Amino acid sequence: MITITGAASSPGYLVTTWPLNVTGGLIKLSFQCNTSGANLALFAGTEANLTSQSGGIGLCGSSGATFLAIVDAKVLNGQLLFVRPEVGRPGRPLIPEPWNFTLIID
């Protein structure tokens, strides 16, 4: 089990700095936004998805509650994991940065 606590700012927070290399099995992801009023989401995708704040595979969203996702690892193969805001526009978030989150990978 790995626990990551981070502080995301626009356009988001890159959780993995290299594409995932996974072949099978299930991965359990637990994700929570710890900043009151902020709405963050966990995504898998490309660096372009992160910087453009569009696209990618939505894995978990959070506005304070803890969300659990159980994902087939093959879906994540070759993808980056990142956190980005889901409310507001790029460069004009509704809640001041940074936005704190906790991600547990099991």
Residue with tokens 């996702």: 69
pLDDT at 77: 93
| Domain ranges within the chain, ordered by starting residue | 2-89+97-105
| CATH for 2-89+97-105, options being 2.60.40, 2.40.50, 2.60.120, 1.10.150 | 2.60.120
Q: Is 19 exposed, middle or buried (0-12, 13-18, 19+ CB in 10 A)?
A: middle
pLDDT at 23 (0 to 100): 83
User: Which parts of 2-56 fold into alpha helices (H)?
Assistant: 47-52
Residue type, 5: T
List the chain pLDDT tens, one digit each, 106 residues.
899 999 888 788 899 888 999 888 999 999 999 988 788 899 999 999 988 888 899 998 877 788 999 999 999 999 999 998 876 545 555 667 788 999 999 8
**pLDDT attached to residue 9:** 83
Is this prediction's pTM over 0.75?
A: yes
